[in-house]
Amino acid sequence: MKKIAAYLYILSATSLFGQISGTKAFPILELPIPARSNALGGATMAIWDNDVNLAHSNPALLNPGCARQLTFNYVNYISDLNYGNFAFASKLKKYGTFGVGLQFFSYGKFDGRDEYDIQTGTFKASDYCLNLSFAKTLNKDSSLSLGIALKTIYSHYDIYSSFGNVVDVGLTYHNKKNFTASLLAKNYGRQWKSYSPNSSKDPLPSDIQIGFSKKINKAPFRIIVLYDQLFKWDLTYTSALNQENSIDPFTNKPSVKTQSKTAAWFDNLGRHFTFGTEIIITKNFMLRVAYNYRKSTEMSLTDKKVANGLSLGFGFKVYKFHLNYGYSKFSLAGNSHTFGITTNLGYFGKK
């Protein structure tokens, strides 16, 4: 069961945030690990706020208000599957803001068996990603920010391991009217070592995204829009699970559902978008909800209608700690419940 769950989780990540499921290396790069990001369906690359967690989505969101913040996010998915991250930010005088983070995904312990079903012992599988980020404002009023993140990924499954590096580059604009726009190129790099010495290097889950957010004046909510795979239009693929099993009596071949060109165009357009909102109840309490159409389409089954694509959560402050929770509906295999805690080390130096 645990092997199946691990496979389904990797499949759900690559299906949602990649192009074609199961074809990209290092699926850990595509997970919206922080609880705030998970609650908003990963659509946090264009939110200007003093929150170090946002730098996970876009390094250009690092700003002096994130300085000395320390955060930890964690989720126990199914059985022994666990993932999460640590992150910390610091201001480098007049140069900009620096961040460091560590992501991890543990698939747990497995029983190894040979081709004759004889047990060969146990082994573990895990992924790790070390992030080094830097952001700097480009103009006098600090409305334009450029950020870059260098990620080093190490993946280890039994006797097989892989190593690679990718870079994220983000550009963010924000103004006093609470409008933010971001352009992000993420996960561009190289797999230096493949899992097998004789295999070719795997493609990486590269993506170019554009996003917007707007805090409505005199209204207690923020509207968030994300458009991913900016230069790749066709995100559809044919799943055998979505094909009808009936036989055409005239051709004696399986019949397949078809869409009109207009319906297919809108279906493909919807796969690029994630829509979300943050409802600001009070200064220290916030509700979040988002919907991802591609996730809903690709992770649904023809005979089971569930709320795939929906994510929600909340955040609040207690004493010196910011607590966040994010829920995301992945598939019948399970859901993710992410818990995050963030604090500013400067709080503890004050008398």
**pLDDT per residue as tens digits for the range 119-173:** 888 888 999 999 999 999 999 888 999 999 999 999 998 888 999 999 999 999 9
**pLDDT per residue as tens digits for the range 51-61:** 999 999 999 99
Minimal CA–CA distance to 10: which of 347, 343, 333, 245? 333
Least confident piece of the model among 163-177, 202-216, 301-315, 332-346: 301-315
Q: Domain with 226 in it: what CATH number?
A: 2.40.160.40
Q: What is the rounded average pLDDT for all residues in the chain?
A: 85
Write down the pLDDT at residue 9: 45
- For residue 287, is it left (φ>0), alpha (ψ between -120 and 50) or beta? beta
Domain total in the chain:
1
Q: Residue 239 sits in which domain range?
A: 2-111+120-349
The H or E element spanning position 269 is helix 261-270
HEC assignment per residue over 272-326: CEEEEEEEEEECCEEEEEEEEHHHHHHCCECCECCCCCEEEEEEEEECCEEEEEE
Q: Residue 268 class from Cβ within 10 Å (0-12 exposed, 13-18 middle, 19+ buried)?
A: middle
Are 146 and 170 within 8 A, CB to CB?
yes
Longest dimension (CA), the chain: 83
- The C-alpha atoms of residue 351 and residue 346 are separated, in whole angstroms, by 10
pLDDT surpasses 90 at 343: yes
Q: Any residues with CB less than 8 A from the CB of 198 and at least 6 apart, and which?
A: none
In the structure encoding, which two tokens stand for residue 1, read together? 């069961």
Write down the pLDDT at residue 249: 56
Which DSSP string do the residues of 59-90 spell out, in sequence order? GGG--GGGTTEEEEEEEE-STT-EEEEEEEEE
pTM attached to this predicted model: 0.85
Average pLDDT over residues 302-323: 84
- The C-alpha atoms of residue 349 and residue 351 are separated, in whole angstroms, by 7
Average pLDDT over residues 96-103: 97
Write down the pLDDT at residue 198: 77
Write down the pLDDT at residue 120: 82
Write down the pLDDT at residue 11: 43
